[in-house]
Amino acid sequence: MLDFRKIHFIGIGGSSMSALAMLASESGAWVSGSDREDSFTLQKLKDMGLNVYTGSNNSIVAQSDLVVYTGAIGDDDTELKFARTNRIRCMERKAFLALISKECKSLIAISGSHGKTTTTAMLCYVLKCLRVGFKGHLGGIISQEHCNFINTGDDYFVTEACEYKRSFLALEPTVGVILNSDYDHPDTYPSKEDMYDAFRQFAEQSQVVVAEENTYKTLDLQRIENKDKIYTFGLGEDADFRAVNITQKDGKFSFAVLMRGQKLTDIHLNVYGKHNVLNALAVIAVSRIMWQNIREVAECIESFEGVDRRFSIMGKSQSGAKIIADYAHHPREICATIDTLRLMTKGRIVAVFEPHTYSRTKVLLDDFAQCFFWTDELLILPTYSARETKNQGYDGIDLTCYINKRGECALYMDSYDKAYEYINEHTSKDDVVIVLGAGSVYSLAQKLVQ
């Protein structure tokens, strides 16, 4: 495995890190790892036989010939400092991902501000159904596979390509996909143009580019020297891969796929939301470039059931309300989720939102204030700090006050327990409660249906 026999992962409980650790283990490396807190992921890794634990243990680090650390780990981390002091090779997650991807003949990297996990999962599911040899690395759990990695061979490496800290620029994709480019991660990109420059560089580094048609225009990808390597997808007439005759029933969409005017296939999605029409188009485009049978690809897409925490229907609360959990934490994602809910229900929609990072809450404050317009009631929780401190932006209470000053209504809940009590006391069997956020708020959704 890459000339490294023993690999230690700091921050192994993260979605990407755990997938990399499992891929490394399956490839023959002895794997250990640490994280700050215990989690379901750590328990799963333990069940697989990996030596993982909470806290620090330099005696285990000392046995490693490579230490991989997540970008969220600071230079003052005990294990990282020990490894560097003792001249153990250290590598950030993005560099290790780039290195391990070169074990395969081709790299397919899926980027974008939203939809990366679902699109990557959909493509991985298709390739596994078609029995293609590949390694898949995801930031979420494929519902039907119950895991965030797949290893069936070395022909392709399929991965999410995250723009945070410009991580995706460590990759050299055979096929680079750009789903969208909405402004996000203000802690990495001071302006939209800075982020656009990074996506353009990602496109330049890719041998072939598959880009959503509006994103192609926004990023001005026609500036790329070799424009012939770019394929577009979308709903407009100029898109190379286009969805037409779009219909929906209870939030699930059906459509026909055209390639430059010629019909390829029909698709009936088994996942909710119109945004998944574009995600499926991206998978179709990549599959066509890979010379897969598109009708077989369409059949696989139709049986794809999604990713955990992406519009996951959890069950019912004590009050009888339907509980749905979604990872959405950017205004555009929230709008797409609520639009989907409106197609599915005539009852009240109660949104529970945990903002993710102080800087995002501050920079996108106006967008957050508007994206809940179609909800009937809005509960806002404290901001999930992740890697940040309060002085870097706004908390959930700041967002609540801002919304209320605009003449709309939001209720601030300073804990999961208070939100839990409020939902059970103020909802009924005709209501839908959507629990939104990328932090630990999923535990609230789980508690509500227990």
Least reliable range by pLDDT among 82-91, 219-228, 256-265, 293-302: 219-228
The domain limits of the chain are: 6-95, 104-302, 312-448
| Residues 80-94: b if buried by 16+ CB within 10 A, e if exposed | bebbeeeebebbbbb
Per-residue pLDDT, 293: 95
Residue 111 has pLDDT above 90, yes or no: yes
Of the two residues 39 and 184, the one the predictor is more confident about is 184
**Helix H segments across 219-357?**
275-289, 294-302, 331-344
CA angle at residue 36 from 31 to 40, to 5 degrees? 70
Distance CA 408, CA 419 (A): 19
CATH 3.90.190.20 fits 312-448, yes or no: yes
Per-residue pLDDT tens digits for 42-62:
998 998 889 999 999 999 999
Query: What is the mean predicted confidence (pLDDT) over 199-216?
Result: 97
Q: Which residues contact 10 (CB under 8 A, 6 or more apart)?
A: 33, 34, 67, 68, 69, 70, 73, 77, 79, 80
DSSP letter assigned to residue 197 = H
Q: Give the pLDDT band of residue 223 (cuts 50, 70, 90).
A: confident
What the block records as the tokens of 109 is 């990297």
Residue 248 has pLDDT above 60, yes or no: yes
**Helix H segments across 206-330?**
213-218, 275-289, 294-302
Query: What is the mean predicted confidence (pLDDT) over 122-128?
Result: 97
Query: What is the mean predicted confidence (pLDDT) over 179-207?
Result: 95
Query: What is the mean predicted confidence (pLDDT) over 103-121?
Result: 96
Per-residue pLDDT tens digits for 368-407:
999 999 999 999 999 999 888 899 999 999 999 999 999 8
Task: Return the bridge partners of 176, or none.
Answer: 109, 209
Structurally, at CATH architecture level, domain 6-95 sits in 3-Layer(aba) Sandwich (3.40)
- 115 vs 63, 83, 111, 275, 332, CA distance in Å? 38, 36, 8, 8, 11
Per-residue pLDDT tens digits for 290-318:
999 999 999 999 999 999 989 999 999 99
Three-state secondary structure call for residue 418: helix
Give this prediction's pTM: 0.93
Per-residue pLDDT, 27: 84
Per-residue pLDDT tens digits for 267-283:
999 999 999 999 999 99
Per-residue pLDDT, 2: 64
Burial of 269 (0-12, 13-18, 19+ CB in 10 A): buried
Per-residue pLDDT tens digits for 152-175:
999 999 999 999 999 999 999 999
Per-residue pLDDT, 71: 84
**232, containing H or E segment:** strand 230-234
Q: Give the whole-number percent of the chain exceeding pLDDT 90.
A: 86
Instruction: Report the candidate in 91, 112, 71, 128 with the shortest Cα–Cα distance to residue 3.
Output: 91
Instruction: Report the candidate in 446, 117, 178 with the shortest Cα–Cα distance to residue 310.
Output: 117
CATH class name, domain 104-302: alpha beta
Per-residue pLDDT, 181: 95
Distance CA 405, CA 17 (A): 41
Residue 358 has pLDDT above 60, yes or no: yes
Q: 104-302 with 312-448: one CATH topology?
A: no
Burial of 418 (0-12, 13-18, 19+ CB in 10 A): middle
Rg of the chain over Cα atoms, rounded to whole angstroms, equals: 22
